[in-house]
Structure 1
């Protein structure tokens, strides 16, 4: 019996050895490889990178817009990490923070130029070539950001606890540990012209992040056989999210102090509480899918993304997915059209606050968390203002370029018209360069778009008199309802309409009594002043700092 078993084992070993020496046929793996493209993809949707101060950056944007500051050019140095323990792109985090504080206000524009050859890319190399050939000029920034990750103190606190039990046939052990690490960031604001750091414009903050773990070991023996189990769970708070939180806070402090705006109002938001998203996540998981959708639908109804009389919508209803998508776009989220936790948190954050004990609490929620006791739809509103960097924005000489910005409080169809001193009206938006009338509530519309290389038109003042630009926002597209106003080609004279009042009357007549928003700005056109002989003979003044310039490149005048 033993001889037969040995012979069978030898034969099996020879067969396996022969199989190993035979080249593998990749055609047999076609079925396996066909799944590679799907298996290599992530299994979760992407999320927008946010910190505790993301809402504070949006708040700063509004404060800077209300302060009516001219655009300031800013740049930054590399933010080194001398501890070599935080491998993050701090400079790019600074750029993102500045951009988020300038979406509506246009308060800051970042000058992107890299001197380090090792860090230069195609754009930087082309810039250097054009600069050396005098074919390009870089505008000098007014401010620059300097700083460094000052320290990383690991394992400042380290709590560890171990226990074990041993017997003749059983062994058990349990361990737990927690560590705390300190991360510090120092940042300063400097005057680029003199390369000096401005006293008082500094920020020094630190954040604590930690790691923790638990482990359980169990071993037993029955006769001559043994069984062993090992179970553990761990968590690690990343240095990247901690660094972004410090960078956002530092930029709010530095630019808020420099602009002399009450930036502390943006730092007292409930959303900056460290436990805000964790508590919202608990509420999200405790509720059923139906209750979550009911809550978010009521919030979207209150914000105007759904009509007030809309019934409970199924999760795949086109109207529901469209409303979710527009809400996600307006709130700078990745648009998925699906109700996930990020959308849930953004929709309900206005109904959460801190109570007297400092705990996160619900405001206006029903007794079971299935409804919101909120007001009806918020009406459409338009915020318009003249953006010319001059003290008096109500009087311009003939031939002066005028720059206007406008935004709506929620997504809407947007139309803009201009009226001259004689009451002639032309449509500015939409036009061939910007044909889409639907705009997002999260962006500022520039009239004309002074940041685009080809804005489509330039808004020049005409003959002396009173000129005005008016914009209207509606919940539905008016293209098929206003043939006399909207169907006329853009930048051409609208017939049989006298002034902005006539445009408003046409919209009121075609909108069937439905509410719409309208706002306008106007200015007085003065005759062009002829310079005196002394002024003509005087040497040209030194160029002004580009920090206060919003002038676009020359483009065709308004037709």
Structure 2
């Protein structure tokens, strides 16, 4: 019987049959003869994929669920399942530590199976937020191309800025590309290896653009490249056109650097302004509460570990003095059942309330004793909960929590910490939202991980769901 992940409400219709048109993709360039920069040959772009994994982790990218169909090839009679598998492998290699992206494989008929780290034998349950569609182009003269785009499953529209068009030329035992106007090359013994390299580069570019991380670093291209400058300008302008989006971006990033611990709500307050001033100073910019293009560029180009260390050294004395509250943090978790037994299949609502502003994380131990993190999640990524409003789960979020049909008791346990520690938890107790943790994971292991990450400043509460 499925866990909470197996009982998520279906959020959208099955994938349509149309394929990505070339007009949806961004402009690409076909390589030509000329001096070529060398990229390490291990697994084609292996080091670059590991670099991307680090960027996704450092920038707090997580809980992205993407359905991927077979890639179309107009020159072939049937879709290219093998090319899709190579793309799946590339994304898997790119998210080994960050667990940022979960791919769901979809066939032409719309049936889906878990992939890229899904639990073997688990039923498909989580309707992905995005669909990944693409066209593989095999041309004459050793040239191959790959067009990719991310589509919102809500209305199947292309996500702005999340489309790529890459081309490669196979010749003389290597495959050649042009990225940001700069030639690149990796060794390739044949067409299959060339397709693998093309898929890896396309995955780096597509998800780098989507997540707004400096992926050009991973393929050896500097921030002084004019095309990189144009890409950065486009990202900034798109966010600046929606000021709340720009503010929320920096709120999340400054929280990752432990310079800010307020809400991620796109609203400018005094605490956020002070964090911006400190961050600008740490980056060598003018100390003012201004979310400017130069701040965005400096942040993307920064050594984030070094930046965080400099920010930690400039914590205001007043903040240090009030860092340890007088009373311990407490947490209350209650269910809509209010102590009564639930009918099998009955939906339940949870009410979570910390004693003061805190970061909350909730897990379900299902009828198979498997653990699943279901908050924070793709519907609400901000873990911060205020005592005045509390948190309702599922509330308006698009999933359901119901009593399992077998009537076996289940347990919901929530943890509260003074600061956001999710990124500091080991993958064995963090995982992806709505996806079961490894079978041997226990609530005690999860608790110990939270104790270690929070330095002991932890509150927890549980509620048991019982059937009639």
Q: Relative contact order (alpha carbons < 8 A, sep ≥ 6): 1 or 2 greater?
A: 2
TM-score calculated relative to the size of structure 1: 0.26
Larger radius of gyration: 1
Structure richer in strand, relative to its length: 1
